[in-house]
Amino acid sequence: MTKTERASHVLQRLAELYPDPPVPLDHSDPFTLLIAVLLSAQCTDVRVNQITPRLFGELGRTPQALAAQPVAKIEAIVKPCGLGPQKAKAIQKLSQILIDEHGGQVPCDLDALERLPGVGHKTAQVVMAQSFGVPSFPVDTHIHRLAQRWKLTDGKNVTQTERDLKRLFPETAWNKLHLQIIFYGREFCSARGCDGTACEICTTLFPERKRALKTKKA
């Protein structure tokens, strides 16, 4: 198969497997999603979904509420997500910035989101895609790894992977597709569950592949 043919097969098969993929992080609005994605850095979505109900339930679920909280109080709750001090400071500070600069609302603007403390390119893109419906292709470790296994990119870094995937797939598919790849990676093509030679998509795309494929870390 050519790269274009592989991309077409991936798009079709993932649509069959995950026709309506949910956002894995529990949230109720752009702000709670922003906080949840921030907390998910180096942490599982399962753990984040265990922590956010307490965070929002005890301290509040708005920028106004969290900006008024001492950093130590936020940290005491988010500590199980890892990087507690940094994440707590970022949550308190970005909440205040949203009040001061954006009327207490999460801006629908990629550059403005990326300027917020603790919010990187991937986090900003998730919010743009899932809260505002703006075509985006956030690349996490699952997507970076699978894109290499499927030879849709040579995977030097997530920036290149994002650029390559955006060229291969139609913009209208980006928001759903990035979730579909994540779900497939977790269920069938995980780091331990497949080495490029075991799962359905890998074996369909590369039936002659016999050796494990080493992937480059993000």
CATH code of the domain covering residue 68: 1.10.340.30
Mean pLDDT of 171-199: 95
Residues 34 and 125 in one domain: yes
Which two three-digit tokens encode residue 174? 């980006």
* 52 falls within a domain: yes
Residues 171 and 150 in one domain: yes
Residues 75 and 120 in one domain: yes
Which two three-digit tokens encode residue 212? 């494990």
Residues 112 and 127 in one domain: yes
Q: Encode pLDDT of 13-43 as tens digits.
A: 999 999 999 999 999 999 999 999 999 999 9
- Boundary-marking domain end, from 76, 109, 132: 132
Which two three-digit tokens encode residue 158? 């997530």
Options 26, 45, 109, 140, the catalytic residue:
140
Whole-number pLDDT of residue 44: 95
- Exposed / middle / buried, residue 90 (Cβ in 10 Å: 0-12, 13-18, 19+): buried
Residues 45 and 81 in one domain: yes
pLDDT at 188 over 90: yes
- Cα-Cα-Cα-Cα torsion 181, 23, 18, 166, nearest 10 degrees, comes to -40
Number of domain units in the chain: 2
> Scanning the structure block, which residue is given the tokens 């308190």?
92
Amino acid at 191: A
Mean pLDDT of 201-208: 97
* 216 falls within a domain: no
What count of other Cβ atoms lies within 10 Å of the Cβ of residue 20? Answer: 8
CA distance 197 to 211: 7
Residues 51 and 108 in one domain: yes
- Cα-Cα-Cα-Cα torsion 32, 37, 43, 47, nearest 10 degrees, comes to 30
Residues 60 and 125 in one domain: yes
Whole-number pLDDT of residue 155: 77
Mean pLDDT of 90-115: 98
Angle between helices 71-78 and 45-59 (to 10 degrees): 140
Percent of the chain beyond pLDDT 70? 100
Q: Encode pLDDT of 152-172 as tens digits.
A: 999 789 999 999 999 999 999
> Scanning the structure block, which residue is given the tokens 């500590």?
79
pLDDT at 123 over 90: yes
- Boundary-marking domain end, from 132, 153, 188: 132
Is 166 among the residues known to form the active site?
A: no
Is 151 among the residues known to form the active site?
A: no
**Cα radius of gyration (the chain):** 18
Residue range(s) defining the domain that contains residue 124 = 30-132
* 119 falls within a domain: yes
Q: What angle do CA 151, 3, 126 make, to 5 degrees?
A: 65
Residues 148 and 190 in one domain: yes
Q: What is the mean pLDDT of the chain?
A: 96
Whole-number pLDDT of residue 142: 84
pLDDT at 131 over 90: yes
What count of other Cβ atoms lies within 10 Å of the Cβ of residue 41? Answer: 19
Whole-number pLDDT of residue 110: 98
Whole-number pLDDT of residue 8: 98
Residues 125 and 143 in one domain: no
Alpha carbon of residue 147 to chain centroid? 15
CATH code of the domain covering residue 177: 1.10.1670.10
Which two three-digit tokens encode residue 70? 């001492």
Closest to 30 (Cα-Cα) out of 103, 79, 83, 81? 103
Amino acid at 20: D
Q: Encode pLDDT of 62-85 as tens digits.
A: 999 999 999 999 999 999 999 999
pLDDT at 218 over 80: no
